[in-house]
Amino acid sequence: MSTKLLPEVKTFLTAAPRPMYIGGQFVFAADGQTFDTHDPGTGETLASVAAGGAAEIDAAVAAAQKAFRGPQWSGLPANDRAVILHRLADQIQKHAAVLAQLESLDVGKPLAQAAGFDIPEASRAFRYFADLSVHTRRREPIALAGMDAYTVRAPYGACGFILPWNFPFLLLGWNLAPALAAGNTVVLKPAEDTPLSSLYFCQLAQEAGVPDGVINVVPGFGRTAGAALAKHSGLSRIAFTGSPEVGRLVGEASGRNLIPCKLELGGKGAAVVFDDVDIGKTADQLAAAVTLNCGQVCCTATRWLVQERIYDRFVDTVRDRLKQIHLGHGLDASTEMGPVVSEKQRQRVLGYLDQGVKQGATVVLEGGAAAPPQSPRGYFVKPALLAGAPDNVCAREEIFGPVAYLLKFKTENQAVELVNHSRYGLANSVWTADLARANRVAEALVAGNSWINAHNVFAYGLPYGGTNLSGFGGGVNGPQTLLDYLREQSVARPM
């Protein structure tokens, strides 16, 4: 590792085990259970973490309910809550270097990505929703004859969040910020592979003056802590980001409890590349998209549809670019792509490559396991390119690694049909110099998000979410997201 660990990071990792945060207290599991989190760049243990179960989830939901009933959060004017959320964003910015190292170590992502994107974007989420909440009307008059009537918007109560391991801190910001700004209280169950930044965040919340019980974080496993949170009858809403398989379970549990549910699930994003593009620039951007976070990005471009006239030239160019990607530990300054998050995830990626080839895919760039000299024991995989029929498993299913599947197309209609054949509907992109065609195709692709001459486009104010197998419930990051966390109530007095 070329980057030296900050003293705060060393202390945080070694002051074992890391406690959970319930009702403003740093506590351990009643049964004393802990689990280890690992550095995917070395395979070594990073820290020991308290393992929450049903009892801790009960306590966290009770703390969130109590804090919601009290005057110190939901009862505050929006301005006062916004001041506290801005203080929390200040704390994140002040400790950004620590958070970035923790995130890089826990997920394996390059430090520059964590420091330049994940952490600052999470602090921006708190600022965006704090400001939006101040400018959101809580009371709307209704013009009706013979009646004094209006609607009020009020927070729901205790909201549950179950999050994945690929962008732990960014997704914490995207999810918790709108709920908190609306006046709800929250219980977060981070992914067992990557709990560290969420646990460090608890200290920052306390220092920022977020009242006790407003934010609760219970690390633990999916089948225990996750399942207990998903089915908890004390929640007023739940949001889940992760795989469609677990999303179904969370959806079922929320259905039983009759509470609103947001599901942000997997994807199989396509990039439709027409033959009027700048081949070099487009190849660079798609190579960057599929290697971002080692391909562990739900919305990234993993099916590349290329128009036949430029297919061969595009493939040669992008293959050359991908061959040059420098693999290494997240804390090495020269690293362009880190490891995948775990050995389990590496086996998933390798298994898909194997199955894809068995089903007849052509190997355009051979991927496979890698062992960079500085980090020989990390969970590394090389970028891979496959090509062939659209019904190949690697063209249909989410691999969640640095693997793209190439498809050749002739006409616009054929490209649209191929993209929409997927059961997923998260994000796609269109690449062309013809802007009329760009917008036409962007609108024809069935997904929550269509991007033009770019992939992975995020901004606060730009709604982001999925449809079909990629989820439902309103998404994140749009102005509407804040309203999702406010229930509407009508008040009427006949005159």
Chain residues binding ligand NAD by CB under 6 A are: 162-166, 189, 191-192, 222-223, 226-227, 230, 241-243, 246, 249-250, 264-267, 298, 398, 400, 426, 466, 470-471
Least Cβ distance, residue 297 to ligand NAD (angstroms): 7
Count CA atoms closer than 13 A to 398's CA, side-chain side.
24
Instruction: Quickly tell me which residue has 């945060």 as its tokens.
Output: 21
Least Cβ distance, residue 171 to ligand NAD (angstroms): 6
Could you confirm whether 159 is annotated as catalytic?
A: no
Least Cβ distance, residue 235 to ligand NAD (angstroms): 13
Q: What are phi and psi of 486, to 5 degrees?
A: -125, 125
Nearer to ligand NAD, 39 or 193 (CB): 193
Nearer to ligand NAD, 400 or 451 (CB): 400
Question: Which residue lies nearest ligand NAD, judged by its C-beta?
Answer: 222
Q: For residues 329 and 336, give the distance between their C-alpha atoms in angstroms, rounded to a whole number.
A: 9
Nearer to ligand NAD, 155 or 269 (CB): 269
Nearer to ligand NAD, 183 or 222 (CB): 222
Q: 154 and 487 in contact (C-beta within 8 Å)?
A: yes
Q: Are strands 34-38 and 185-189 parallel, antiparallel or unpaired?
A: unpaired
Q: 264 and 475 in contact (C-beta within 8 Å)?
A: yes
- Least Cα distance to 118 among 148, 96, 85 occurs for 96
What single string gives the DSSP state of each residue in 18-73? BPEEETTEEE--TT--EEEEE-TTT--EEEEEE---HHHHHHHHHHHHHHHHSTTS
Least Cβ distance, residue 100 to ligand NAD (angstroms): 19
Least Cβ distance, residue 148 to ligand NAD (angstroms): 43
Nearer to ligand NAD, 136 or 355 (CB): 355
Q: For residues 376 and 372, give the distance between their C-alpha atoms in angstroms, rounded to a whole number.
A: 5
Q: Which of 298, 299, 398, 412 is the catalytic position?
A: 298
Q: For residues 472 and 355, give the distance between their C-alpha atoms in angstroms, rounded to a whole number.
A: 30
Handedness of CA 379, 294, 102, 55 (dihedral sign): negative
Least Cβ distance, residue 267 to ligand NAD (angstroms): 6
Question: What number of other Cβ atoms are within 10 A of residue 148's Cβ?
Answer: 12
Instruction: Quickly tell me which residue has 């929320």 as its tokens.
Output: 254
Least Cβ distance, residue 292 to ligand NAD (angstroms): 12
CA dist 125 to 88, 141, 156, 160, 287, Å?
A: 11, 30, 20, 18, 28
Q: For residues 245 and 243, give the distance between their C-alpha atoms in angstroms, rounded to a whole number.
A: 5
Helix (H) or strand (E) run with residue 491 in it: strand 486-494
Could you confirm whether 264 is annotated as catalytic?
A: yes
Q: What are phi and psi of 476, to 5 degrees?
A: -135, 170
Nearer to ligand NAD, 166 or 282 (CB): 166
Nearer to ligand NAD, 85 or 163 (CB): 163
Nearer to ligand NAD, 101 or 254 (CB): 254
What single string gives the DSSP state of each residue in 372-432? -TT-TTS-EE--EEEES-TTSHHHHS---SSEEEEEEESSHHHHHHHHHTSS--SEEEEE-
Q: Which of 192, 264, 398, 412 is the catalytic position?
A: 264
Look up residue 54 and give its two tokens: 């049903």
Least Cβ distance, residue 264 to ligand NAD (angstroms): 4
Catalytic residue numbers? 264, 298
